Amino acid sequence: MDKAIHGGLWFILGSFLSVKCWDSNFAPKESTITDFAIWVRLPQLPTEFYDKSILEKIGKKLGALLKIDACTSATLKERYARICIEVSTGIPVKTSVMIGNHKQEVLYEGEGTLCIGCGRIGHAIAKCTTTKCPRIKQRPKVRTLLAHQRWRF
């Protein structure tokens, strides 16, 4: 069950599937998706930041920290750290985070499924119709990755 809830973005035939723990007051007709879990990568994170307490602080700056990747917590991945966070659908995602004096780039897994302009799931920024979304020239340069794609220098 942990894998279903925190495993990342789930899609069935191109449609987003949100998996959450059961709520006793759940009413399907009235339910809306207000937040979702997503895996983020922190490429070229300095070794001294591969500490559970620091990764927790980074996760909290990006959203609500749900999980730290097992290989990350064991510092087995040298190219990037990987954490699962919960973000709100109504707030644009952050493109970087400051760790002391270090500006850390943030990569979101799920290419074409997360709009970095409006922070919503289901479309890329190029197809965003939200009035809050800035035009192409003003968009931040954020890269997203397919979940199975490896980071290369």
Question: Per-residue DSSP letters for 117-130?
Answer: TT--BSS-GGG---
Predicted pLDDT at 63: 92
Q: Considering the domain boundaries, does residue 95 fall inside one?
A: yes
Average pLDDT over residues 37-62: 91
Assigned domain for 122 exists: no
The pLDDT of 66-94, averaged and rounded, is 79
- Prediction pTM value: 0.68
Specify the 3-state DSSP secondary structure of 55. helix
For the chain, how many structural domains are there in total? Answer: 1
Is 43 a domain residue?
yes
pLDDT at 153 over 50: no
Report pLDDT for 5. Answer: 67
Indicate if the pLDDT at residue 65 is higher than 80: yes
Question: Where does the chain have alpha helices with state H?
Answer: 2-6, 52-62, 70-73
Strands 10-12 and 15-17: antiparallel
- Measuring CA to CA, which residue among 18, 14, 15, 24 is closest to residue 5? 18
pLDDT (0 to 100) of residue 28: 80
Q: Within a domain: residue 58?
A: yes
The enclosing domain of 89 has a CATH number of: 3.30.70
Q: What is the DSSP letter of 49?
A: G
Distances, alpha carbon 57 to alpha carbons 30, 32, 96, 100, 142, in Å: 34, 28, 14, 11, 21
For residue 67, being part of any structural domain is answered with yes
Q: What's the confidence (pLDDT) of residue 97?
A: 94
Edge-to-edge, what's the strand order for the sheet holding 64-68?
64-68, 80-88, 35-43, 107-109, 144-145
63 secondary structure, DSSP code: S
Any domain includes 90: yes
Q: Does any domain span residue 119?
A: no
Q: Which domain holds residue 40?
A: 2-15+32-110
d(CA 132, CA 46): 34
Mean pLDDT of 75-94: 79
Mean of the per-residue pLDDT values of the chain: 76
Q: Is residue 65 part of a domain?
A: yes
pLDDT at 13 exceeding the cut of 60:
yes
